[in-house]
Every structure is written in structure tokens, then in C-alpha cells.
Amino acid sequence: MKIVVLTGSPQKHGSSNLLAEQFIKGAKEAGNTLSVIDATRANVRPCTGCVRCGYGGPCVQKDDMGSENGATSGIKTELLGADMIVFVTPLYYYGMSAQLKTVIDRFCAFNGDIQRKHMKSALISVAWNADGWTFDALEAHYKTLVRYLNFSDMGMILGRGCGTPDMTARSEYPTFAYEFGKNLKNI
């Protein structure tokens, strides 16, 4: 299975990326092909809502989303070539990072292509807060994306109490992420 890990943490060595690395390790060991798209370092401008794409492309913006006018590279091409997308983000004010949200907003120009693929998806996130309700808003947003984009949700790893990479490394979440990736061989 080809998996795209779409990361959204400005902290290259932060807690969410630590879990992403463990997921990737397990998924590779299971025989999957993986690529990582770092939304925080990509040149992706926000969707302007102009709808000149007609929700089917091409987008009028020329940036790293790419794959317009015959181009064979870019984030769009990478995503549409995948069987699964794993969204990775720290929890910022009870939602995903702005960088990840910016890339997801640009899905607008190829919604139909994504919906027809019936891809798999997963969510990996971390938060300092450990309250039971910490991830409620992010979970609701993710589940709405899953429903709207016709994804098959493969699961979520929601790392509560992962305020620093050291805290995260000492928690059970890196093992959960590794095992989650490793078990994708059975899917």
C-alpha cells in the first residue's frame, strides 16, 4: 500500500513528528511504501475561495500543490497516487495546525478526484493537555473530513500529555504509533 504521511508541525523534532517517525518505521517494516509531505515547509498558499477550480481543478494558484497543466509533480499528484493519507499534527487551540489546514483547504480544487479514490486515512496528534475532552474538536473535524472525502478511517493515535518530545518519548504513544504502522500489513 502507498501511504502519504502529511505532517503539520513547525517543530521538525517535535512530539507529533516523533510519533510520525515511529508510524513510518512500523509501516515500512510491514512492506508499505511511504512518502512524507511536510506542510510546514511547503510553499502552499491558502485557498482564496474563488472557486475558479469548479471543485475539480485546476487551481489558479501556482505553488507546491502542483499537478496542473500537465505537470507530473506536486502535493496533489503525490496525494492522488496514494492509497492512504495519514494526517499528523500537534493540537493547536484544540484543532490542527494552520499549516496542515492550509494544505487540506486546497483539496477543494480536486475534491472529486479524492472522493472517487475511496482512500484510507488516519490521524496522529499530540497535546500537552491530558483531559478526556482534549481532542474532541479535532476528532470531530477529522471525522467530518473522512465522511466528506469518502475515506475509510483506519484509526487515530491521540497522544494526551505529550507536551514535549521527552514527555512523548517516555509515554506509550511511540509504541502505539509503531504498532499501528506495523499492523497495516493486514489491511
Q: What is the pLDDT of residue 116?
A: 95
Q: What is the pLDDT of residue 38?
A: 96
Residue with cell 500537534: 90
Q: What is the pLDDT of residue 9?
A: 95
172-178 contact pairs (CB < 8 A, 24+): 173/19, 173/126, 174/18, 174/19, 174/22, 175/22, 177/19, 177/20, 177/22, 177/23, 177/26, 177/124, 178/22, 178/23, 178/25, 178/26
Residue ranges of the alpha helices (H) in 13-156? 15-29, 75-80, 98-105, 111-117, 136-148
Beta bridge partners of 88: 7, 124
Q: What is the pLDDT of residue 99?
A: 96
Q: All 3 cell numbers of residue 104? A: 487540506
Cα 122 off chain centre by: 7
Q: What is the pLDDT of residue 58?
A: 86
Domains recognised in the chain with CATH numbers: 2-186 (3.40.50.360)
Q: All 3 cell numbers of residue 35? A: 512518502
Q: What is the pLDDT of residue 56?
A: 84
Q: What is the DSSP letter of 118?
A: T
Walk along the chain (187 residues) and give the pLDDT tens digit of each residue: 999 999 999 999 999 999 999 999 999 999 999 999 999 999 999 999 999 988 888 899 999 998 555 545 689 999 999 999 999 999 999 999 999 999 999 999 999 999 999 999 999 999 999 999 999 999 999 999 999 999 999 999 999 999 999 999 999 999 999 999 999 975 6
Q: What is the pLDDT of residue 57?
A: 80
Q: What is the DSSP letter of 181?
A: H
Q: What is the pLDDT of residue 11?
A: 92
Q: What is the pLDDT of residue 67?
A: 58
